[in-house]
């Protein structure tokens, strides 16, 4: 989650947010307790009644470990601004991605989130064979879309743009049936009782604790954003340790957001966003999963406009790593891609469906804040069958 993620001008937030770039303004505020005339009629749901969705369950079957050698396909989770809901797209070659539900939501934000909208989905496979997904509980157009009578959940002057309370944690063993938990950091930990947000949660396995580590962006009230980590319980339903800062940026007044951490060759590589006019993607490296990241001032993404939401994934059977990111500085927004083998040079391979780019979105447009993980062809096919395939 980030200031530019909805591509709207947010200069009213002051200097701390001045570097965010936008392309449209938010709807005018509606006085608390008043009903916008637009909301008096029937509202269009994000999901058509009766349309198949992922199943939310209270318990899961045992997970099975699948060798990495069999994980030759790809699954991308993403969301869209117009629905604030979850989408899946699959690929067999890591270049052409096809939405499993023909560009329609596979899980409605209205059905699972307190704010009736989700953002920033991240998905990964744990060493136990289970799948872990984390999302932001936030609807940035909640007032306009008639799911909230105020512009934000709490006053903007106190808690900032896009303030929210919950992150959503989900776990599955088959990609179809998921447990769901809402985690409010401000209620769990007194130190964060005045947290203004819990944005863009991601998950990585911590071999030292043998638990899943959840890391995310937060701030205290309306202060600068920074990134923290905490350990999850085995059921992946709550956080158990007080979140601690994972990166000391040299200019603490600059918003740092959207961490994405991957273990490569014994080192943890963190890609993240620093809002340094415009927001751009940086890299930091550490020998430890939750601390010791060394600041590197170099801009990583090849974009000339603002980008955010970095996500790193490997092409199967190669040493080529793909850095994917949300290019919110263009209208309409798109996902951009760069490849690297040494993490020093990053080759720009374009955006989805750009002329000359190998990256294709075959049946969907304007994906936001995506995450890709490796799956088996059988797992991809199971998802496609469940939703009826591309239509």
Residues 6+ apart with CB under 8 A from 126: 63, 132, 205, 212
Q: Tokens for 285? A: 């490296």
Q: The sheet that has 256-264: what strands, in order across it?
A: 256-264, 267-275, 279-286
User: What pLDDT shows up at residue 47?
Assistant: 78
- Cα angle 333, 348, 279 (rounded to 5 degrees) comes to 50
In this prediction, residue 276 has a pLDDT band, given cuts at 50, 70 and 90, of confident
Number of C-beta neighbours around residue 321 at 10 A = 19
Count of CB atoms situated within 10 Å of the CB of 72: 17
Distance between CA 151 and CA 161 in Å, rounded? Answer: 9
Residues 6+ apart with CB under 8 A from 215: 201, 202, 203, 204, 227, 228, 229, 230, 246, 259, 261, 290
Contact 328, 307 (CB under 8 A): yes
The pLDDT of residue 221 is above 90: yes
Distance between CA atoms of residues 15 and 6, nearest Å: 19
Residue 81 pLDDT > 70: yes
Q: pLDDT band for position 24 (50/70/90)?
A: very low
Q: Tell me the C-alpha distance between 17 and 325, whole Å.
A: 20
User: Across residues 261-283, what is the average pLDDT?
Assistant: 93
281-321 pLDDT, tens per residue? Answer: 999 999 999 999 999 999 999 999 999 999 999 999 999 99
Look at residues 106, 111, 108, 113 and name the one whose alpha carbon lies nearest to residue 90.
Answer: 106
Q: Which ranges constitute the DSSP H helices of the chain?
A: 109-112, 156-159, 185-188, 377-387
Predicted local distance difference test score (pLDDT) of residue 191: 97
Please give the residue that has the higher pLDDT: either 243 or 20: 243
pLDDT for the residue numbered 92? 98
240: which DSSP letter? -
pLDDT at 74 (0 to 100): 98
**In which band, very low, low, confident or very high, does the pLDDT at 7 lie, cut at 50, 70 and 90?**
very low
Q: What is the pLDDT of residues 186-220, one digit of tens each?
A: 999 999 999 999 999 999 999 999 999 999 999 99
Residues 39-64 have a mean pLDDT of 81
DSSP secondary structure string, 101-121?
TTTS-SB-HHHH-TTS-EEEE
Q: How many CB atoms lie within 10 A of CB 245?
A: 15
Q: Which residues contact 289 (CB under 8 A, 6 or more apart)?
A: 204, 206, 207, 208, 213, 229, 261, 263, 268
Mean per-residue pLDDT for 358-370?
Answer: 98
For residue 50, what pLDDT band results from cuts at 50, 70 and 90? confident
* Mean pLDDT of the chain, nearest integer: 90
Per residue in 96-153, pLDDT (tens digit) is 999 999 999 999 999 999 999 999 999 999 999 999 999 999 999 999 999 999 999 9
Cα–Cα distance between 151 and 165 in angstroms, integer? Answer: 15
Is pLDDT above 90 for 223?
yes
Rg, the chain, Cα only: 19
Using alpha carbons, list the distances in angstroms from residue 235 to 183, 208, 212, 310.
13, 18, 10, 27
- The answer to whether residues 264 and 283 touch, using CB atoms and an 8 Å cutoff, is no
Q: Which of 17-31, 177-191, 296-310 has the lowest mean pLDDT?
A: 17-31
Beta bridge pairs of residue 124: 132
Q: For residue 11, is pLDDT > 60?
A: no
pLDDT confidence band for 20 (50 / 70 / 90): very low
């Amino acid at each position: 989650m980030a200031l530019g993620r909805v591509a709207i001008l947010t200069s009213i937030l002051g200097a701390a947010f001045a570097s965010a770039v936008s392309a449209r303004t938010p709807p005018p505020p509606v006085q608390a307790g008043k009903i916008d005339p637009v909301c008096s009629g029937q509202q269009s749901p994000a999901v058509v009644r009766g349309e198949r969705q992922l199943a939310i369950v209270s318990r899961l079957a045992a997970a099975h470990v699948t060798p990495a050698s069999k994980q030759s396909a790809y699954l991308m989770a993403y969301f869209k601004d117009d629905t604030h809901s979850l989408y899946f797209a699959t690929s067999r070659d890591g270049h052409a991605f096809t939405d499993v539900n023909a560009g329609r939501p596979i899980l409605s934000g209205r059905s699972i989130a307190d704010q009736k909208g989700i953002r920033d989905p991240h998905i990964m496979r744990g060493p136990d064979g289970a799948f872990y997904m984390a999302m932001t509980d936030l609807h940035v157009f909640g007032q306009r879309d008639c799911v909230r009578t105020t512009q934000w959940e709490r006053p903007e002057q106190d808690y900032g743009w896009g303030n929210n309370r919950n992150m959503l944690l989900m776990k599955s063993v088959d990609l179809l049936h998921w447990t769901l938990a809402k985690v409010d950091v401000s209620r769990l930990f007194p130190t964060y009782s005045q947290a203004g947000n819990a944005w863009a949660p991601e998950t990585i396995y911590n071999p030292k604790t043998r638990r899943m580590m959840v890391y995310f962006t937060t701030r205290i009230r309306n202060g600068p954003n920074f990134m923290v980590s905490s350990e999850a319980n085995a059921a992946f339903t709550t956080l158990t340790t007080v979140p601690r800062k994972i990166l000391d940026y040299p200019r603490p007044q600059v918003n740092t957001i959207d961490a994405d951490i991957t273990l490569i060759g014994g080192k943890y590589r963190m890609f993240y966003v620093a809002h340094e006019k415009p927001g751009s993607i940086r890299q930091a490296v550490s020998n430890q999963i939750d601390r010791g990241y060394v600041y590197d001032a170099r801009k990583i993404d090849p974009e000339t406009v603002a980008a955010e939401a970095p996500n790193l994934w490997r092409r199967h059977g190669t040493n080529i790593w793909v850095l994917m990111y949300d290019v919110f500085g263009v209208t309409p927004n798109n996902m951009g891609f760069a490849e690297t083998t040494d993490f020093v040079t990053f080759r720009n391979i374009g955006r989805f469906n750009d002329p000359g780019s190998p990256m294709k979105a075959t049946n969907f447009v304007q994906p936001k804040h995506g995450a890709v993980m490796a799956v088996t062809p059988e797992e991809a096919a199971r998802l496609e069958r469940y939703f009826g395939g591309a239509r």
